[in-house]
Amino acid sequence: MSTWFENIAAVLILIASFFLLVGAVGLVRFPDFYMRLHAPTKASTLGVGGMLIASMLVTYTHGYPGIAELLITLFVFVTAPVSANLMGEAALHLKLRSKAPVPPDAVPERRVAD
């Protein structure tokens, strides 16, 4: 395997590891379901995608086309946002409240009749 492909794969693995770490920290630190749903679906999709692309580079240098990694990457990129959307809609349907603070300008003012 050439040094050029090794360096690219190493950089992709480092970037993917960063996104996976950010998603894991967000899952632990965020206070409610909606925020916890957002962190892993966005960050881990990029993390898993980066790992699989690095794996495709390594398998390509060994003489294999990396079709399995490509299919897994496409599957993750399609199913992660769809499943997050469905879980969010289910939480809205169950009227699960968010713990996020509401900005003052988003609350309508009550007017007292003269």
Average pLDDT, consecutive stretches of 10 residues, N- to C-terminus, the chain (114 residues) = 84 94 88 84 86 90 87 88 89 83 64 59
Global confidence as pTM:
0.74
Q: Note whether residue 114 is domain-resident.
A: no
Q: Note whether residue 107 is domain-resident.
A: no
- Classify residue 63 as exposed, middle or buried by CB count within 10 Å of its CB (0-12, 13-18, 19+): exposed
Q: Note whether residue 9 is domain-resident.
A: yes
- Residue 86, domain extent: 3-96
Write the DSSP symbol of residue 31.
-
Q: Note whether residue 112 is domain-resident.
A: no
Number of domains in the chain: 1
Q: Note whether residue 101 is domain-resident.
A: no
